[in-house]
Amino acid sequence: MSAEPIAVGEAAHATIAPSGHEMWGNCPGSLALSVGRPDGDSEYSREGTAAHWLASYMFESGNDGHGLIGTNAPNGWPITADMVDVIGRNYVATVKALADGADEFHVEQRVDVTPYVAGCWGTADVIIVRGTELQVHDLKYGMGVEVDAEENGQLMLYALGSLARFDLAYDIDTVRLVIHQPRIKGPTEWTVTPLDLYAFGERANAAAQLALDVLAGKVEPTYNPGRDTCRWCRAKAICPDLAAFVKAQTCGDIEPVADEPRVPDANVGADVLGKAMVAVPLIEDWCRAVRAEVERRLLAGQPVEGFKLVQGRRPARSWTDEAEVERVLKAMRLKTDEMYTYKLASPPAVEKVLKGKPRKWGKLAPLITQGEPSKSVAPVSDKREAIVVTPRTNDIDDLSTDEELI
């Protein structure tokens, strides 16, 4: 284990953070535009921080974490049985298996990337050296965006910093990058050579230098809106080029002619729809960012023209002390079905209870049903197989020419 692990959330962010590579690596002006803007301590980020802390605890202590169920992580997030199970079984156990016989095993380790990329350092979740192979593991606990290890800039930067520390001692010839998303899918891996990483580092350093020059006022800012580029950018709501992009995608260059109504085209071309669909996720991100920025300003007492804060609906009522309520209700001699509500446990919950008891679970398996997965739209680059749908012929006659209705 690492002798000096970095506590989760302890270190301040680097100016050129590996986690922001998609942003500063593709949009030179994004770094300067984001400086000083709030990160936004969302429920998702707090949950992710707690998950990383729990994983670090399991690695460092060798404990399975079950003793922490019902307690809180240092940031106040509750540790649940599901979190312990998912982290322990789908992440910690997988990493330990890949680390079998490791020469080096480091958890929450600070990596210095500045020998290759100006101003860049960060904290890698797990670094392993096994013979001539370097492994860099990254845990992403959220249920949102699926992330692939292939050419992942964040992990490649962590790997560069790890090479700077371990390459001379171990003569590393292979780097394995692994992303774990235990609540979405199994781990994804990608291997790369140190030479390819060094070439990537040169490109990343050029992008970092440009972003830093914009930040220092040496170069005029330019922006490059895109879904991956803007996804985690704190300046989405105030970015001039993103606003222009949204306007262009939603309004185009169409100028309405006075007294000439525009007729919607029901047969709009597939190329037009495809172009619009590509922009939809980014536009949705922009909309959420604008809403959050307006709310932030109003909550800070700053005016936003045309909008105000109002009192929303009150939360549902709840008991302040359930144990005392139980005592009072029992003293009133209420029946059990008047005091409590019961719900049958779900198949996954029962499966956990019957873990290691296949005969008992086998009796329940025939009583389980599961619906078909829903169909969803995805870009052609998505690795899932396309569903082939045969276009239906028009089985409804054109009523305008039906003589029986004339």
Lowest mean pLDDT, pick from 50-64, 249-263, 301-315, 318-332: 249-263
Q: In this structure, what token pair is assigned to residue 11?
A: 């270190």
Q: What is the pLDDT of residue 406?
A: 33
pLDDT for position 6: 37
The 10 Å Cβ neighbour count of residue 302 is 9
Count CB-CB contacts under 10 A for residue 344: 7
Q: 192: Cβ–Cβ under 8 A, 6 or more apart, which residues? A: 156, 159, 175, 177
Helix H, strand E, coil C: the string for 104-167 is EEEEEEEEECCCCCCCEEEEEEEEEEECCEEEEEEECCCCCCCCCCCCCHHHHHHHHHHHHHHH
Listed by start position, the domains of the chain span: 18-215, 235-253+273-300
Higher pLDDT, 299 or 187: 187
Residues in CB range of 283: below 8 A, 6 or more apart: 246, 249, 250
What was the pLDDT predicted at 396?
40
Please give the Cα distance from 151 to 155 (Å, whole number): 8
- pLDDT at 1 (0 to 100): 42
Mean pLDDT of the chain: 83
Q: CB 45: neighbour CB atoms within 10 A? A: 14
Give yes or no for residue 339 having a pLDDT over 50. yes
pLDDT given at position 9: 41
Sheet holding 121-130, edge to edge: 104-112, 121-130, 133-139, 174-180, 188-192
Cβ atoms within 10 Å of 391's Cβ, excluding its own? 5
- Encoded tokens for 24: 């500063």
In this predicted model, what pLDDT tens digit does every residue of 78-97 receive, in sequence order? 999 999 999 999 999 999 99
pLDDT at 267: 59
In the CATH scheme, what is the code of domain 18-215?
A: 3.90.320
DSSP 9-30: TTSPPPSB-GGGHHHHTT-TTH
Confidence of residue 40 (pLDDT cuts 50, 70, 90): low
140-181 per-position pLDDT tens digit: 998 777 889 999 999 999 999 999 999 889 989 999 999 999
- Name the one residue in this structure whose structure tokens are 């359930």: 322
Q: What is the pTM of this model?
A: 0.68
